Amino acid sequence: MKKIINNPSNFVDETIDGLIKSHPNIYSLASDNTRVITRAIKSSNKVGLVTGGGSGHLPVFTGYVGKGLLDSCAIGSVFASPSVEQIASAIRNANNGNGVLCILGNYGGDVMNFEMACEIVRDEGIETKTVIVADDIASAKREEKEKRRGIAGMIFVFKVAGALAETGASLQDVFEIAIETNSNIRTLGVALSPCILPEAGKPTFEINDDEIEIGMGIHGEPGISREKLKSANDLTDNICNRILNDFNLTDQEIGLMINSLGATPLEELYIVSRRVVENFNKKNIKIFKNYVGRYATSMEMAGMSVTVLKLNNNIKENLLAPTNCPFWTN
Amino acid sequence: MKKIINNPSNFVDETIDGLIKSHPNIYSLASDNTRVITRAIKSSNKVGLVTGGGSGHLPVFTGYVGKGLLDSCAIGSVFASPSVEQIASAIRNANNGNGVLCILGNYGGDVMNFEMACEIVRDEGIETKTVIVADDIASAKREEKEKRRGIAGMIFVFKVAGALAETGASLQDVFEIAIETNSNIRTLGVALSPCILPEAGKPTFEINDDEIEIGMGIHGEPGISREKLKSANDLTDNICNRILNDFNLTDQEIGLMINSLGATPLEELYIVSRRVVENFNKKNIKIFKNYVGRYATSMEMAGMSVTVLKLNNNIKENLLAPTNCPFWTN
Amino acid sequence: MLNKENLIIILDKLFDQSKKYYDDFNSADAKIGDGDLGITILHGLEEIQKNKVSFNNDMGENFMICSKAFVKRSGSSFGTLIAFSLMNISKKIDGKKECDHHDIVTIFEIALKTILDRGKTKLGDKTIADTLNLIIHKIKKSKNYNHEIKSACTKALENFKGKKILVGRARMFEDKTTKFDDPGMFALKKLSEIF
Amino acid sequence: MLNKENLIIILDKLFDQSKKYYDDFNSADAKIGDGDLGITILHGLEEIQKNKVSFNNDMGENFMICSKAFVKRSGSSFGTLIAFSLMNISKKIDGKKECDHHDIVTIFEIALKTILDRGKTKLGDKTIADTLNLIIHKIKKSKNYNHEIKSACTKALENFKGKKILVGRARMFEDKTTKFDDPGMFALKKLSEIF
Ligand SMILES: Nc1ncnc2c1ncn2[C@@H]1O[C@H](COP(=O)(O)OP(=O)(O)O)[C@@H](O)[C@H]1O
Ligand SMILES: Nc1ncnc2c1ncn2[C@@H]1O[C@H](COP(=O)(O)OP(=O)(O)O)[C@@H](O)[C@H]1O
Ligand SMILES: [Mg+2]
Ligand SMILES: [Mg+2]
Ligand SMILES: [Mg+2]
Ligand SMILES: [Mg+2]
């Protein structure tokens, strides 16, 4: 694994600069913080949506700033939480007097920093609410869902809440649909190979050539079990079973996301997706829409995750609502 | 590099099946050929657009079937040309009496098989025209542009011709804009690491840990020069210079595509894109729209390519026209 | 007694220690978490080093400088908790040129309170809070800070051997975690060896 | 004279040879192309093996079976050119139980014509067409097919040493190609060793 980079310590700043220079109609740098990205055309009459988190997961987090999705994003270093100051700036930039909803993944540093930032801006008169996405079923038991890590499912929350916010809905309403969406999501992933942190120049973890780790986190956190590399079908069956054990989806309508962690190619995602669709069809689970691609990555890590979002009419409508973002195809 | 696959000899068929099962509203299997994909909702009153080529390059080729883009695609094995029979089926499926335009990359097997297929369907009364995309400046001298390989630039031809076809334009008109678009495209890429052919189970070529190959083809064909791994900026400058030496773009308006061959992550693409934009701005080249992502890949190969499309009002309009395809964001 | 001079000495020693145990901290964390604890500690202390030229006689300001430095380079739970603690400590000892015994106890008490508040955790969860709690307990009784801190850090680690880790990234491993030290507690023990 | 029986013997031997030189063909092609020539040849001949149960006394049909088999598994220039050639040959010798001297010359002539037509190439471009041309030249004069084919394949390769490859994927390397054999010509030489 080789990287096309300059000085590793400029990795994040150059990535941000590249994103803005490449899509100047979508993204803009906050005037008060070099690690905060906002929409190029700010919205004026809606709840602001803010996220933030470590770099190295594009399109997560920054990529999902755009009409119909988020208003701003605080960007940490690779795999590291943004600071309280950065988050506070992101919130201020997203606020246009209608309150701000923060949507973030459940990681200790992020959660604490967002909390602190919300306290700071509250003193400035900005009302905020926070939804902590916790979709990774590998990371805590079902009874402790709120303790789970947030991974690819986060994007569904961005999308659904983002669409509702665009209609001018109240902070409370946007908050509620985000909470509901989060509680309707389950994700399980598998890692096949590590990625290289630009500054460290070495792999984040080690894994044998014939091994995979089910439930490994997007920063290389240990998963549920390390197993021998198996066929795509066996692996997919295992993942589907674990998800369905966690979450009864029989006769339900769902949105599906088959997400590559980076290096795993579309061809393999479709081999997995095929099996997921077959398995779910057997359980009479109706797949309303299937998102196959790289939605939440760990740079060039090999692996993939399967996310299900249980739908209702409200969520469905918001899922399909138009966006203006290079990483979301309507 | 590990693969999530089943029996390697089913790789292509399962990929196709997965694509259709995942997006049943977009793709459909031809009734007469298991290696031909058509639109789920066939068009009835327009020129048919057909492509074809080897597997392992998703979204190229099959992915670009969809409203506003292609009508059908003949799918070969990994990195191998589809057969005459498959191509003939793809043409028949795309035809609704208004003639068919074949758009393909310049590879010996593909070119010959398309030619033969066109002869066969001509005897059945289907009028065809063919545009052979040749955008890879590494693969032949400027004076012999028509001998160049076709790589990522192909997608711009699909898009522009696809949009015009959708308006009901004649075969001749669609052919002409495709020819014009092709002549307005230049691409240069760099490979950092090989990919693994599912059946062979081993890398397509070898390259040292500290080396890159400029101009390497998407099947591992040798490029212009093998060089030491260098900074993203130096590499990008080199690529930009070679493109601009081949193609005078000063004061022109262009579409840009910064394409990953697979494993190279978005972060790195944006570091490259940033530099391309800076370099082009200095030359007063106006970037109308920038497409950054995985548009034409070689499975999990690491590397990227830069494509420029010189624009005029006609091409521009067609570039922006709406599509319905999971791999194209308007 | 703590003043600018011995604060600097302590920070220098901690910085050395963080370099020495960089890999150990990372791998202790990698067993159950994301493996960045060494990075977090090293980066925070490194940034403090860069900023200690601004240290002055107001210990409150010095702690604020440390807090800001930690916040700047660290993006993980440990760093965040330390940064919050340093900030709250800074407010409490604002204007003081030196910290007497009472202040020193207060410093640790504020750190503990901050961590429990911000970390939404409780004593007994097997985190750095438990180590701090034991430190406070011990230095309340004895001014032999060096000895007490060192022995508290060691003792706390021992006390929790065989217990489950209940917060942070480790929570999901449940029973498996009984065989691991909490990485933060482990790091405090190693860092305390400077005393 | 060529009939079903000796066609099968030839195909069996070619198949063995394609296994033996699989890597060599791939790497000869990889130097200047995409490295799939060994795959192309092996897959084509393998598929013929699977289908030779359908061989019958009509040599035209047998060649058509070979053509279809080649088309099925091979997706590269060499395979396509061979498949087209086999198809055209099949039409010409349709209904024949055996091919006499004249037919054998015709087989090679049709192959050459097909390759030049379909490949849009000309003699002297350093391709398999040049090898075929020399074979035709030689077997027109002598019925010692085995010897003539083998020596023509060797001679053709030698004749083009130091010359530029002007078609296929190699074209772009210009002068660099003078030091390489054309992979297709190289493969024909190795395959001809069965004779
Ligand atoms: N909520 C919390 N409350 C108290 N201590 C915590 C909490 N979260 C983490 N810690 C401490 O920090 C250590 C992990 O630090 P770090 O690696 O920086 O966290 P992470 O990478 O998981 O965000 C743990 O071993 C624990 O001692
Ligand atoms: N247009 C052509 N005309 C004649 N021979 C050709 C042509 N293209 C390729 N060949 C022959 O085929 C060989 C390469 O075969 P192959 O590897 O199957 O091609 P590809 O480049 O499509 O992978 C060349 O060495 C050459 O002898
Ligand atoms: Mg950690
Ligand atoms: Mg961390
Ligand atoms: Mg080849
Ligand atoms: Mg080939």
| Buried b or exposed e, range C1-40, using 16+ CB within 10 angstroms | ebebeebeeebeebbebbeebeeebbebbbbbbbbbbbbb
Say if residue B147 is exposed, middle or buried (CB neighbours under 10 Å; 0-12, 13-18, 19+).
middle
* CA dist., res. A99 & res. B198, Å (int): 52
Ligand 1 atom showing the smallest separation from residue C35 Cα:
17
CB atoms within 10 A of CB D88: 18
Residue indicated by tokens 């542009």 = B145
Backbone φ, ψ for residue C131 (5° rounding)? -65, -45
* CA dist., res. C143 & res. D86, Å (int): 97
* CA dist., res. D45 & res. A294, Å (int): 40
**How far is CA B313 from each of CA B17, B157, B254, rounded to the nearest angstrom?**
39, 15, 11
Rg for chain D, CA atoms, rounded:
16
Q: What is the DSSP pairing of strand A36-39 with strand A27-29?
A: antiparallel
Contact criterion met (CB < 8 Å) for C75 and A139: no
CATH number at residue C21: 1.25.40.340
Q: Is A82 on the interface with C (CB under 8 A)?
A: yes
* CA dist., res. A296 & res. A310, Å (int): 19
Q: How far is the CA of A121 from the centre of ligand 5 (A)?
A: 63
Residue indicated by tokens 């996405």 = A133
**Nearest-by-Cβ selection for B21 from A1, A266, A277:** A277
Contact criterion met (CB < 8 Å) for C75 and A83: yes
Instruction: For residue B307, give the nearest of B257, B271, B261 by alpha carbon.
Output: B257
Average pLDDT score, chain A? 96
* CA dist., res. B270 & res. B292, Å (int): 7
Q: Angle D183-192/D128-141 helices, nearest 10 degrees?
A: 40
| Chain D partners within 8 Å of B138 (Cβ) | 172
**Nearest-by-Cβ selection for D34 from B79, B138, B147:** B79
Q: Walk across the sheet containing B253-260 and list its strands.
A: B225-228, B211-214, B185-193, B302-310, B253-260, B286-293
Pair A89, A83: CB distance under 8 Å:
no
DSSP secondary structure code for residue A41 in this structure? S
> Which residues have CB under 8 Å from B66's CB, separation 6+?
B26, B27, B39, B323, B324, B325, B326, B328
**How far is CA B164 from each of CA A10, B48, B253, rounded to the nearest angstrom?**
43, 11, 20
Whole-number pLDDT of residue B101: 98
Pair B68, B322: CB distance under 8 Å:
yes
What is the tens place of the pLDDT at every residue in C17-54?
Answer: 999 999 999 999 998 889 999 999 999 999 999 999 99
Whole-number pLDDT of residue B138: 94
Q: With touching defined as 3+ CB pairs under 8 A, do chains D and B touch?
A: yes
* CA dist., res. B202 & res. D145, Å (int): 39
Q: How far is the CA of B61 from the centre of ligand 6 (A)?
A: 16
Q: Give the percent of chain C with pLDDT over 90.
A: 86
Q: Which residues pair with A49 in a beta bridge?
A: A101
Which residue's C-alpha comes closest to atom 17 of ligand 1?
Answer: C37
Note the pTM of the prediction, 2 decimals: 0.96
Q: What is the dihedral of CA B279, B281, B285, B290, to 10 degrees?
A: 80
Residue of B1, B2, B324 to mutate, interface with A, max A Cβ within 10 Å: B2
In A70-134, where do the E strands start and end?
A: 72-78, 100-105, 128-133
Q: How far is the CA of B80 from the centre of ligand 6 (A)?
A: 6
Q: Which two tokens stand for residue D55?
A: 């061989």
Three-state secondary structure call for residue B316: helix
What is the tens place of the pLDDT at every residue in B58-111?
Answer: 999 999 999 999 999 999 999 999 999 999 999 999 999 999 999 999 999 999
| Chain A partners within 8 Å of C30 (Cβ) | 205, 220, 222
pLDDT tens over chain D, length 195 residues:
899 999 999 999 999 999 999 999 999 999 888 999 999 999 999 999 999 999 999 999 999 999 999 988 888 999 999 999 999 999 999 999 999 999 999 999 999 999 999 999 999 999 999 999 999 999 999 999 999 999 999 999 999 999 988 875 555 666 777 889 999 999 999 999 999
**Sign (positive/negative) of CA torsion C58, C59, C60, C63?**
positive
* CA dist., res. B281 & res. B18, Å (int): 42
DSSP secondary structure code for residue B75 in this structure? E
Whole-number pLDDT of residue B200: 82
Report which secondary-structure segment, H or E, holds A115. Answer: helix A108-123
| Chain B partners within 8 Å of D32 (Cβ) | 221-222
Which residue's C-alpha comes closest to atom 3 of ligand 2?
Answer: D119
Q: Is C84 on the interface with A (CB under 8 A)?
A: yes
Whole-number pLDDT of residue D169: 55
Whole-number pLDDT of residue B173: 98
Q: Which two tokens stand for residue B286?
A: 């106006």
State the residue range of the domain holding C160.
4-192
Q: Which chains touch B (3 or more CB pairs under 8 A)?
A: A, D
Stretches where chain A sits below pLDDT 50 are: none
Rg for chain C, CA atoms, rounded:
16
At residue C55, what is the residue type? F
Max CA distance (Å), chain B? 55
* CA dist., res. D149 & res. D134, Å (int): 9
Q: C167 or C14, which is more confident?
A: C14
At residue A137, what is the residue type? I
Chain B residue with CA closest to A192: the answer is B2
Which residue's C-alpha comes closest to atom 8 of ligand 2?
Answer: D168
Contact criterion met (CB < 8 Å) for B1 and A263: yes
Average pLDDT score, chain C? 94
Total domain count for chain D?
1
Q: Is B114 on the interface with D (CB under 8 A)?
A: no
| Buried b or exposed e, range A101-124, using 16+ CB within 10 angstroms | bbbbbbbbbbbbbbbbbbeebeee
Question: Interior CA angle at B208 toward B204 and B212, to 5°?
Answer: 80
Pair C127, C121: CB distance under 8 Å:
yes
* CA dist., res. B72 & res. B92, Å (int): 9
* CA dist., res. A155 & res. A133, Å (int): 10
CB of D103 closer than 6 A to ligand 2? no
Q: How far is the CA of C80 from the centre of ligand 3 (A)?
A: 11
* CA dist., res. C100 & res. C93, Å (int): 11
Contact criterion met (CB < 8 Å) for A221 and C34: yes
Q: Is B85 on the interface with D (CB under 8 A)?
A: yes
Q: Angle D77-92/B108-123 helices, nearest 10 degrees?
A: 40
Contact criterion met (CB < 8 Å) for A4 and B258: no
Question: Of the residues B219, B275, B294, B310, which is catalytic?
Answer: B219
* CA dist., res. B149 & res. B86, Å (int): 22
* CA dist., res. A6 & res. A318, Å (int): 40
B219 noted as active-site residue: yes
Q: Pocket of ligand 2, candidates D42, D43, D78, D80: which has the most ligand atoms within 8 Å of its Cβ, to mutate?
A: D78
At residue B64, what is the residue type? Y
* CA dist., res. A100 & res. A170, Å (int): 10
Stretches where chain B sits below pLDDT 70 are: 1
Three-state secondary structure call for residue A210: coil
* CA dist., res. C49 & res. C17, Å (int): 13
* CA dist., res. C88 & res. C67, Å (int): 9
Whole-number pLDDT of residue A161: 98
**Nearest-by-Cβ selection for A1 from B58, B231, B302:** B302
CB atoms within 10 A of CB D56: 10
Q: What is the dihedral of CA A215, A218, A222, A228, to 10 degrees?
A: 50
Q: Is C30 on the interface with A (CB under 8 A)?
A: yes
Question: Interior CA angle at A104 toward A103 and A107, to 5°?
Answer: 160
Pair A284, A320: CB distance under 8 Å:
no
Whole-number pLDDT of residue C172: 63
Contact criterion met (CB < 8 Å) for A263 and B262: yes
* DSSP state string for A288-299: EEEEEE-SS--T
A219 noted as active-site residue: yes
Q: Measured between CA atoms, how close is C171 to chain A, in angstroms?
A: 7
Predicted-complex ipTM score: 0.96
Q: Is D36 on the interface with B (CB under 8 A)?
A: yes
Average pLDDT, integer, range C68-83: 92
At residue B181, what is the residue type? T
| Chain D partners within 8 Å of B117 (Cβ) | none
CB atoms within 10 A of CB B171: 18
Residue of D23, D36, D180 to mutate, interface with B, max B Cβ within 10 Å: D36
> Which residues have CB under 8 Å from C131's CB, separation 6+?
C152, C153, C156, C157, C184, C185, C188, C189
Q: Which chains touch D (3 or more CB pairs under 8 A)?
A: B
Which residue's C-alpha comes closest to atom 17 of ligand 2?
Answer: D37
Whole-number pLDDT of residue D32: 86
Pair C87, C64: CB distance under 8 Å:
yes
CB atoms within 10 A of CB B216: 29
Pair C186, C131: CB distance under 8 Å:
no
CB atoms within 10 A of CB A227: 16
